[in-house]
Amino acid sequence: MPDVPVKADKGLVPVGDPTPRDGAGMRSMRAMTLFRACGITLWTLWLLVTNLHHLFARRGMPARVTMRWHKGVCRIAGIDVHQHGRPALGEGVLMVSNHVSYIDIIALGAKLPCSFVAKSEVAGWPVFGWLAKLQRTIFVVRDPRKAAEQMAPLRARLDDRESCVILFPEGTSYDGERIGPFKSSLFQAAEIHPRDGDGTVLVQPVSIAYTRLDGMPMGRAFRPLYAWYGDMELMSHLAGWLGIGRVGIDIIYHEPMRLGDFSSRKALAAACQSAVARGVETARRGVPRIEMKPSSA
């Protein structure tokens, strides 16, 4: 029977977890958590103080500032990101990615001048909701009756050639071992016609996989240390992974597609899901593969 995560008194612990349980080891983990948490807090405060004019303008931070913040957090928190393929920047592009954890946002934000699409509830989260607003996150209500009015901010952001928009079409996060179904209703933004372009926006599938721990291949027993899903408590999860080693993340950019290449949004969603799933699978095997656009829909 394969190792599976089990609930422990203080969170999710993988079976066979070699994390030291002696007093010195636990003190070392707590010290690392505290060191990294303080470092991220100080880095955030310093960047806010040096960009007060953007803060007071209430328009969110420019992409160059948010990218700088994410890169700093990666260095402090021990997040090593490897990219494969090329992001389709320079024109309106909607990137669709699988979702494992809030760490996805840090990893993607460190590499891309981007904004994210998130459910409206995130806006009310303490601290994290405020940070999401600073990144100019587009908050959407999961209500088909309000779909049309929510296209305006998406269209405006896609017309901004200096950034891209990232959507997690699973609608929730998963354990890093499987890819959830891509909801075709969330692909409505794929119907947007850019201001200065031909046809609809580009849709680029993106795979994100947690593949290494301290430079060694990460087994399935350890991915729940980084995956945040189900009813996991946010702060205890954050404190947990901050106290251990360096995590290696692979980001794979697949060949972009357009809605016009497919018979429907559902067909486009299925093609993106297939590309993302295969990218995650190959990354976990240590040979990340870029998926080409299907020859026919």
pLDDT of 1 > 70? The answer is no
Average of per-residue pLDDT across 172-201: 81
Q: Which helix (H) or strand (E) holds 36?
A: helix 23-49
Please give the C-alpha separations between residue 145 and each of 136, 141, 149, 239, in angstroms, as whole numbers. 24, 10, 9, 39
188: confidence class by pLDDT, cuts 50, 70, 90:
confident
Separation of alpha carbons 77 and 112, rounded Å: 18
Q: Are 225 and 246 in contact (CB under 8 A)?
A: no
> Between the ranges 62-66, 73-77, 187-191, 255-259, where is the mean pLDDT highest?
73-77
pLDDT of residue 81: 98
Candidates 3.40.1130, 3.30.70, 3.30.1120, 3.40.50; CATH matching 23-284: 3.40.1130
In percent, the amount of the chain with pLDDT more than 70 equals 85
The CA-based diameter of the chain, rounded to the nearest angstrom, is: 63
Which pLDDT does position 53 carry in this prediction?
87
Dihedral sign of CA atoms 236, 173, 179, 201 in order: negative
Cα atoms found within 13 Å of the Cα of residue 146, Cβ hemisphere only? 8
The HSE-up count of residue 120 (CA atoms within 13 Å, CB side) is 7
Residues 13-67 pLDDT 10s: 444 444 555 555 666 688 999 999 999 999 999 999 999 888 887 778 988 999 9
Long-range contacts formed by 125-131: CB under 8 A, 24+ apart = 128/102, 128/234, 131/44
272: pLDDT strictly greater than 50? yes
Q: How far apart are CA 148 and CA 178, in angstroms?
A: 31
More confident residue, 100 or 147: 100
Residues 144 and 186: beta-carbon distance below 8 Å: no
In the chain, % of residues over pLDDT 90? 49
Bridge pairing between strands 247-253 and 79-84: parallel
Tell me if the pTM is above 0.75. yes
pLDDT over 80 at 296, yes or no: no
Whose tokens are 């310093």? That residue is 46
d(CA 187, CA 265): 6
Tell whether the model's pLDDT for residue 109 goes beyond 90.
Answer: yes
Please write the tens of the pLDDT for every residue from 110-130. 999 999 998 888 888 888 888
Cβ atoms of 51 and 61 closer than 8 Å: yes
> Tens of pLDDT along 200-245?
789 999 999 999 999 999 988 888 889 998 888 889 999 999 998 8
Average pLDDT, the chain: 85
Residue 197 has what pLDDT?
Answer: 63
Tell me how many degrees the CA angle 246-137-209 measures, rounded to the nearest 5.
30
Provide the strand spans (E) within 130-271: 138-140, 164-167, 202-213, 216-217, 247-253
Please enumerate in sequence order all residues whose Cβ is within 8 A of that of 223, keeping only pairs 6 or more positions apart, or say none.
100, 175, 176, 177, 210
The pLDDT-based confidence of 295 (bands split at 50, 70, 90) is low
Do 276 and 168 meet the contact criterion of CB atoms below 8 Å apart? no
Domain ranges of the chain: 23-284
